[in-house]
Amino acid sequence: MTNLVRICILTFLFLSPVTLFAQSAVTQVSSAVTISDEISLQDLNQLIDRSRFRSVILQRPDHDRGNGLTVYQLRDVAEKARVSLIYQPIENGSNTQTDIYAFARYYNSLPKPILLICKSGKRALDLYTQAKQQGLLND
């Protein structure tokens, strides 16, 4: 079993999602990173306000089936809250090394804490875990 697989398994076992809002599962994976699954605009506004996120990375492509939150809607919320926003659309299950490097570059340059958003949280957790395992994140 590779270290990456071990990290993913341990992360899923020990970091169970905490439902803080109506329909969103939010999981804090470090002091700098929290991951949210599908989120409503109302929940996003509350989450940014309560948790004082300074940055958001949206990893769910706008064209994903059932996507209820587009980058344009998120940009409006981020601008009003004065939160940095990065749109890094990742196709489900297709993290490439280029995606990992791009994520690490965003992570290292953005103000913390960061909220990562995708449909289930898996894409976000995979990218974070892979970048961390490769030593690409400046913590």
Instruction: Supply the pLDDT for residue 6.
Output: 44
> Is the residue at 15 inside a domain?
yes
Instruction: Supply the pLDDT for residue 18.
Output: 41
Q: What is the DSSP letter of 116?
A: E
> Is the residue at 127 inside a domain?
yes
> Is the residue at 120 inside a domain?
yes
CA dist 51 and 118 (Å) reads: 18
Task: Provide the whole-model pTM.
Answer: 0.79
Cβ atoms < 10 Å from Cβ of 56? 24
Instruction: Supply the pLDDT for residue 123.
Output: 87
Please list the pLDDT of the chain residue by residue as tens digits (139 residues): 555 444 444 344 334 344 344 456 788 999 999 998 878 888 888 888 888 899 999 988 876 666 567 788 888 888 989 999 999 998 876 789 999 999 999 999 999 999 999 888 888 999 999 999 999 999 8
Distances (CA, A) of 109 to 61, 66, 98: 22, 31, 17
> Is the residue at 71 inside a domain?
yes
Instruction: Supply the pLDDT for residue 24.
Output: 62
Question: In the chain, where do the E strands start and end?
Answer: 18-19, 25-28, 33-36, 55-58, 84-87, 114-117
> Is the residue at 121 inside a domain?
yes
- For the chain, the domain total comes to 1
> Is the residue at 139 inside a domain?
no
CA dist 68 and 119 (Å) reads: 10
The CATH number covering residue 121 comes to 3.90.190.10
> Is the residue at 33 inside a domain?
yes
Q: How many CA atoms lie within 13 Å of 98's alpha carbon, on the beta-carbon side?
A: 5
> Is the residue at 138 inside a domain?
no
Could you tell me the residue range of the domain that residue 80 belongs to? 3-133
CB 41, CB 71: distance < 8 Å: no
